[in-house]
């Protein structure tokens, strides 16, 4: 039976172009919106597409989020280490936040990784504010976030409970070689942690930072604000 409609991956295969190149062409408007709701193209629409133009829009293969992070680190003059286990200057976490900001387009259909147009990555690398963007999106674990705010971990945990700061991503941390000892650790952007203090002037930050070990946190009595229903 001849296929009568195609999703993005099927259309790319039909045109014999990389799926990432198809998604990039869709992003730039080279490929029109799907004509079969909600997200498929009809056979006629796919056959009308210019495969050569799609390839030309992305002449080089897509690069992974890790490779994009390496390019950004190089642009900052602080290359990521090549030795396993050393701390990277720029990580894939930062690249995902660049996607959230709209600075990069994710061309992957895989939720566990990202793919990017190398030309767009190079364009981002030329930004004058690149260092500030990377610093703002650098990940902090809960302990690091608490230390940055100058409070105990328990205070930071209450801030998370209250919705004052949110984690866009978690990572799996293993203790030993077995996954049985693995735990998910939430990560927070530096910018979101730094925004907590100015966003909550009602808090006596001096008092909070002076709290001694074992004392009940003043934040424990607070309750999250109720969610506002959309109009």
Are 213 and 150 in a shared domain?
yes
Are 97 and 32 in a shared domain?
no
17-62: per-residue pLDDT in tens?
A: 999 999 999 999 999 999 999 999 999 999 999 999 999 999 999 9
**What's the DSSP call for residue 111?**
T
Q: Residue 34 domain-assigned? A: yes
Task: Enter the pTM of the model.
Answer: 0.84
Are the C-beta atoms of 90 and 80 separated by less than 8 Å?
yes
Neighbours of 22 (CB within 10 A): 27
Domain count, the chain: 3
Q: Residue 7 domain-assigned? A: no
Provide CB contacts within 8 A for 22, sequence distance 6+.
8, 9, 11, 12, 15, 31, 54
Are 51 and 75 in a shared domain?
no
Cα angle, residue 120 at apex, residues 115 and 171 outer, rounded to 5°? 40
Residue with tokens 């650098």: 138
162-171: per-residue pLDDT in tens?
A: 999 999 988 7
Q: Helices 130-137 and 92-101, interaxial angle, to 10°?
A: 110
DSSP characters for 48-108? TS-HHHHHHHS-S--EEHHHHHHHHHHHTT-PPPSSTTSPPSS-HHHHHHHHHHTSS----
64-92: per-residue pLDDT in tens?
A: 999 999 999 999 999 999 887 788 899 99
Q: Pairing relation of β-strands 5-6 and 139-140?
A: unpaired
Are the C-beta atoms of 51 and 42 separated by less than 8 Å?
no
99-125: per-residue pLDDT in tens?
A: 999 999 999 988 889 999 999 999 999
Question: Whole domain around residue 35: which residue ranges?
Answer: 12-57
Q: Residue 231 domain-assigned? A: no
Which pLDDT band holds residue 175 (cuts at 50, 70, 90)?
low
Q: Which two tokens stand for residue 133?
A: 């963007």
Are 111 and 175 in a shared domain?
no
Are 170 and 190 in a shared domain?
yes
Q: Residue 2 domain-assigned? A: no
Are the C-beta atoms of 179 and 132 separated by less than 8 Å?
no
Are 182 and 204 in a shared domain?
yes
The span from the CA of 105 to the CA of 86, in Å, is 28
Are 127 and 143 in a shared domain?
no
């Amino acid at each position: 039976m001849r296929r009568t409609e195609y999703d993005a991956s099927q259309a790319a295969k039909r045109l014999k172009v990389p799926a990432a190149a198809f998604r990039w062409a869709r992003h730039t408007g080279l490929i029109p919106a799907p004509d079969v709701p909600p997200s498929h193209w009809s056979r006629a629409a796919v056959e009308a597409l210019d495969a050569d133009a799609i390839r030309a829009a992305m002449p080089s293969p897509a690069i992974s989020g890790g490779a994009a992070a390496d390019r950004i680190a190089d642009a900052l003059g602080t290359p990521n280490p090549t030795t396993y286990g050393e701390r990277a200057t720029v990580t894939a976490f930062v690249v995902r936040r660049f996607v959230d900001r709209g600075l990069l387009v994710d061309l992957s259909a895989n939720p566990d990784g990202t793919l990017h147009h190398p030309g767009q990555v190079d364009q981002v690398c030329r930004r004058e504010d690149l260092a500030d963007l990377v610093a703002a999106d650098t990940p902090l674990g809960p302990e690091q976030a608490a230390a940055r705010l100058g409070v105990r971990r328990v205070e930071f945990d209450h801030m998370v409970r209250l919705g004052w700061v949110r984690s866009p991503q978690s990572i799996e941390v293993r203790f030993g070689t077995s996954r049985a000892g693995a735990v998910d650790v939430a990560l927070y952007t530096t910018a979101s942690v730094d925004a907590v203090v100015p966003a909550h002037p009602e808090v006596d930050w001096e008092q909070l930072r002076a709290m001694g070990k074992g004392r009940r946190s003043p934040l424990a009595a607070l309750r999250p604000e109720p969610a506002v229903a959309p109009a």
